[in-house]
Amino acid sequence: MSGFVSFVGSGPGDPDLLTLKAVARLKAADAVLFDDLSTGAMLGHVGPGAELVAVGTRAGRPSPKQDHVSRLLVEYAAGGARVVRLKSGDPCIFGRLEEEIIACRAAGIGFEVIPGVSSASAAAAAAGIPLTRRESARRVQFVTGHDMRGALPQGLHMAALADPEATTVVFMPKRTFAELAAGVIAAGLPPQTPALLAENVSHPDQRLTRSTVAELAAVLIAEHSAAPAVILYGPLAEAGA
């Protein structure tokens, strides 16, 4: 008999931000395939008999290939296991969820998606700012800072990303933000647009750096910190300072 896969968002890292449904699925799991950022205390909710499998990917580090992860999901579930695929943040946002769903559907494996707290929301909360404001920030846009090669994705809509009345959140931004900043500034975004670098959001070593788009780009050219981060820029990024 086939098992079942629960795609669970673990949030930005603070185990207190797990949803009740996420905790219930972890407790009931026979196998948990977890991301590199979905570790620590949150795995303490897993039952003693469950198998824990690290399948996380980090830029610049040896990581399992996506087809291998998808195959593991199917193999565990096809053997009757209740599988939790624990993804950092929210699995629907830059989490390669669709590829794993396609693999489950192709194999006839049932699944569900349990959302998690996005690092975008967690970063804004940590900084004491909203993501939206009436009249001046009525749009929020998410963009990834790198493609499968680790480079800035080609074909980004720079005019949209240069909208001075939008809050823009850049995921996995550090290596390519200088290039992105040059693009949006060339497209009309004022270089002094407020920017917020949020590293290790919700962790004890969380660090928030308030700057501007141009200044932050210059800092990141020289800095090589491996801490996971998101960058917010737009009219609200300087609030709460």
pLDDT of residue 241: 57
Q: Which helix (H) or strand (E) holds 217?
A: helix 213-222
240 in Cβ contact with 141 (< 8 Å): no
231 in Cβ contact with 178 (< 8 Å): no
Residue with tokens 């390519």: 176
74 pLDDT above the threshold of 80? yes
Class of domain 119-233: alpha beta
Mean per-residue pLDDT for 158-180? 96
pLDDT of residue 162: 97
Domain boundaries, the chain: 4-114, 119-233
> How many whole angstroms separate alpha carbon 204 and alpha carbon 121?
17
> How many whole angstroms separate alpha carbon 219 and alpha carbon 144?
19
240 pLDDT above the threshold of 70? no
Mean per-residue pLDDT for 111-139? 94
> How many whole angstroms separate alpha carbon 106 and alpha carbon 112?
15
pLDDT of residue 39: 85
Mean per-residue pLDDT for 55-72? 78
Mean per-residue pLDDT for 67-89? 96
Query: Who wins on pLDDT, 60 or 80?
Result: 80
**How many H helices and E strands in the chain?**
7, 10
Mean per-residue pLDDT for 18-45? 94
Compute the chain's Rg from CA coordinates.
19
**What does CATH list as the number for 4-114?**
3.40.1010.10
Question: Same CATH topology for 4-114 and 119-233?
Answer: no
Query: Who wins on pLDDT, 224 or 58?
Result: 224
32 in Cβ contact with 8 (< 8 Å): no
pLDDT of residue 32: 97
pLDDT tens per residue across span 84-118: 999 999 999 998 999 999 999 999 999 999 999 99
pLDDT of residue 40: 83
